[in-house]
Structure 1
Amino acid sequence: MAGLLPRSLLRASSSIAPRQAALFQSSVRAHKLSQRIYAQSSLKSYPRGFTTFPPKQQYRTHTYDSGDGNPPVKIQIQEPPSFFTRALRFTGRVLGGILIVTFGSVIALVIYEPDMIVATEAVRMAMHPEEGISDERTLEIEAYIQNHPMVQKFRDDPSLIETRPHLDIPTLLRPNVLTAGVLTGPDRIAVPPLVFADGEGKKLFAILHVGEQLCGHPGVIHGGLLATLMDETLARCCFPALPNKIAMTANLDVNYRAPCKANQFVIIKAETTKVEGRKAWVSGRLESLPVPGVEGDGKLLVEASVLMIEPKNIGPLMREVSHKKLTSGTPSAAIGSA
């Protein structure tokens, strides 16, 4: 508050003469009276019904006695804010700075890097080509797969069940799944693989398209990607044959027979050869998808075999997850395709 006297003057006031102490006390009273008059006049300048509340400040009254029989002098000194008040102010400033930086960064990204904001939309477009929100090339790939004679042959087989396992993964989790998120999109795995399986864990067929952004050498698909596709597809083949419908790779053996060119359709054929308790052995082939009208199999590109082992004590966890899915209304067919 303006007009308060410094501490040094207050200490000095204890040794002043009686007459000077009386003058000092009268000056303090006059100062308080002038402040009260100023406050009342300032409130009259505002419209009727409008009131202002000055910031609340803490004061402590100090009494100084000169010891000469004169009345003691009382002075109010402003105290510093409490620790809680200072901590609250500091926290508010920090949070305010974080909000300003966050909103500023978002605005900057929207203006200068809009592609970063809508990056996940490309995954969504590729995962739902049937909704009509994909680009023209993705729709062409989807139409080719849907109308291929081999797909029609699989659909005519009553022992095979048609699924798209990637679409069973919750939308929020897909960007964190390698083959359903990072590797999915235009010029990569444009549409989710179309899978036909017998439901008993004995055989499985997967058809997909591999784009030019998946290459290791120019125009040739990366061998590591082919191994990933074989690992995932062969594992999915044996899941229904295991006690809790899930397993992890213990050994993967891959043999590359010919270069896999980019921008082509491929088919993966998997077969479970042996099951012993929590263990399953699966073999498979990755071939080029035959051109419509051409009889026989496509060109052999990759051969692989895998040993899958179900983790110990996974049963209670899987039963708990299955129970939650059933109680939430999730179809039972989606539970075994985790």
Structure 2
Amino acid sequence: MAGLLPRSLLRAGTSIAPKQASLLRSSIQAQNISRRIYSQSSLNLYSRGFATSSSWKQQYRTHTYDSGDGNPPVKIQIQEPPSFFKRALHFTGRVLGGIFIVTFGSVIALVIYEPDMIVATEAVRMAMHPEEGISDERTLEIEAYIQNHPMVQKFRDDQSLIETRPHLDIPTLLRPNVLTAGVLTGPDRIAVPPLVFADADGKKLFAILHVGEQLCGHPGVVHGGLLATLMDETLARCCFPALPNKIAMTANLDVNYRAPCKANQFVIIKAETTKVEGRKAWVSGRLESLPAPGAEGDGKLLVEASVLMIEPRNIGPLMREVPQNKKLASTTPSAAIGSA
């Protein structure tokens, strides 16, 4: 109890024996030392979060407290917190390490699960090189058949027509989210991107493609909704060059089915722009079976369609911000037409 007596009792030293007064002073000094030690320990606990988790060498400092009256000094070893520079350097290293791990892990995941998302568009072009970007044998056969068909050779000899693969101009990262360029592509669906021949003025267009067995509405018959989508997209692309800003949206689509379109066959879509008035364009087209090599005349008529395309108001400033080499990709119907 003597160590807890207040300092005011020391003022009454004349009424307390000298030996007892010495004991009281020693007790109070020891109490003050314990308070200082406690405050230093609190600082040590506060900084331990930096020191214990750090790989830096721990630093210690020895503190000596002399209680006086001939008693031996008290030595206490207290761990010092790292300097501000070391803490900042350690924090920066952890941040950079985390960024590196996340980035490297994301790249590895893309390589394993989505390799096509990190491949440049030019690396998967198949317009003139069937062996590039195609893996399975059936798809190679489809591409070779299209490339070597007499009608394709005829279109290539026509100097007024430009040969393109519009679906391959869509950015690789966006292609999986585009219906006809991503979702519906692949073996037994739209195996290869449609091969398109069109003039520069937006007056006529021809598209050749293959429709697979997984596009059916009835067994062996291609779904009518898919045929309407193909007609909408192809007819829209035909008139784009004739419009002021080379882009439009479907205002009206009229489709007439003339005969069942059997699955696993080659088809050709023929489109012609019939009228253009300012921001409006009217286009008509036919979907036919592709004639066999050596056959005379046109193929069997399967679908007829007509469409009214309207360019959105005030689209000009937005399109002028698109670089010239990106306009073709940005004006594909799958990205620009509301109903397609």
Q: Shared fold (TM-score greater than 0.5)? A: yes
d(CA) in 1 for partners of 2:251, 2:88: 58
Amino acid at match of 2:272: E
Task: Give 1:195's aligned residue.
Answer: 196
Task: Give 1:237's aligned residue.
Answer: 238
d(CA) in 1 for partners of 2:260, 2:116: 31
Question: What TM-score, normalized by structure 1, do the two folds share?
Answer: 0.64
Is the Cα–Cα contact under 8 Å of residues 279 and 310 in structure 1 kept in the other structure?
Answer: yes
Is the Cα–Cα contact under 8 Å of residues 16 and 66 in structure 1 kept in the other structure?
Answer: no
Residue 170 of structure 2 is aligned to residue 136 of structure 1: no
- Provide Cα deviations, 1:44-71, integer angstroms capped at 9, x if missing partner: xxxxxxxxxx943355665645364768
Secondary structure class of the residue paired with 1:66: coil
Residue 154 of structure 2 is aligned to residue 162 of structure 1: no
Is the Cα–Cα contact under 8 Å of residues 126 and 192 in structure 1 kept in the other structure?
Answer: no
Compared CA separation, residues 97 and 119, structure 1 to 2 (3 A):
closer
Structure 2: gaps of 5 or more residues: 1-25, 34-54, 333-340
Task: Give 2:263's aligned residue.
Answer: 262
Amino acid at match of 1:219: G
Structure 1: gaps of 5 or more residues: 1-13, 22-53
Amino acid at match of 1:262: A
Task: Give 2:289's aligned residue.
Answer: 288
Report deviation, 1:310: 1.7
- Provide Cα deviations, 1:7-60, integer angstroms capped at 9, x if missing partner: xxxxxxx74999xx9xxxxxxxxxxxxxxxxxxxxxxxxxxxxxxxx9433556
Report deviation, 1:267: 0.9
Amino acid at match of 1:197: A
Residue 304 of structure 2 is aligned to residue 303 of structure 1: yes
Is the Cα–Cα contact under 8 Å of residues 171 and 329 in structure 2 kept in the other structure?
Answer: no
- Provide Cα deviations, 1:127-172, integer angstroms capped at 9, x if missing partner: 4672524333223222322333333443344433333223434455
d(CA) in 1 for partners of 2:130, 2:271: 30
Compared CA separation, residues 198 and 105, structure 1 to 2 (3 A):
closer
Is the Cα–Cα contact under 8 Å of residues 280 and 308 in structure 2 kept in the other structure?
Answer: yes
Compared CA separation, residues 95 and 261, structure 1 to 2 (3 A):
farther
Greater CA drift, 171-180 or 64-73: 64-73
Task: Give 1:147's aligned residue.
Answer: 148
Amino acid at match of 2:283: V
Secondary structure class of the residue paired with 2:295: coil
- Provide Cα deviations, 1:151-208, integer angstroms capped at 9, x if missing partner: 3443344433333223434455544443233333332222221222222112211111
d(CA) in 1 for partners of 2:179, 2:139: 19
- The RMSD of aligned alpha carbons is 4.4
Compared CA separation, residues 128 and 272, structure 1 to 2 (3 A):
closer
Amino acid at match of 1:204: L
Compared CA separation, residues 142 and 303, structure 1 to 2 (3 A):
same
Within-5 A mapping of 1:21-40: none
Compared CA separation, residues 238 and 78, structure 1 to 2 (3 A):
same
Task: Give 2:184's aligned residue.
Answer: 183
d(CA) in 1 for partners of 2:156, 2:107: 50
Compared CA separation, residues 69 and 94, structure 1 to 2 (3 A):
same
Within-5 A mapping of 1:1-338: 15=27, 55-57=56-58, 59=60, 64-66=65-67, 68=69, 73-78=74-79, 85=87, 92=94, 99=101, 116=113, 118=115, 127=126, 130-133=129-132, 134=134, 135-171=136-172, 173-323=174-324, 325=325
d(CA) in 2 for partners of 1:245, 1:100: 41
Is the Cα–Cα contact under 8 Å of residues 130 and 140 in structure 2 kept in the other structure?
Answer: no
Identity %: 77
Amino acid at match of 2:192: V
Compared CA separation, residues 91 and 228, structure 1 to 2 (3 A):
farther
d(CA) in 2 for partners of 1:186, 1:126: 17
Report deviation, 1:283: 2.0
d(CA) in 2 for partners of 1:199, 1:169: 19
Is the Cα–Cα contact under 8 Å of residues 170 and 329 in structure 2 kept in the other structure?
Answer: no
Secondary structure class of the residue paired with 2:263: coil
Compared CA separation, residues 125 and 220, structure 1 to 2 (3 A):
farther
d(CA) in 2 for partners of 1:126, 1:260: 28
Greater CA drift, 171-180 or 139-148: 171-180
Is the Cα–Cα contact under 8 Å of residues 129 and 191 in structure 1 kept in the other structure?
Answer: no
Task: Give 1:39's aligned residue.
Answer: none
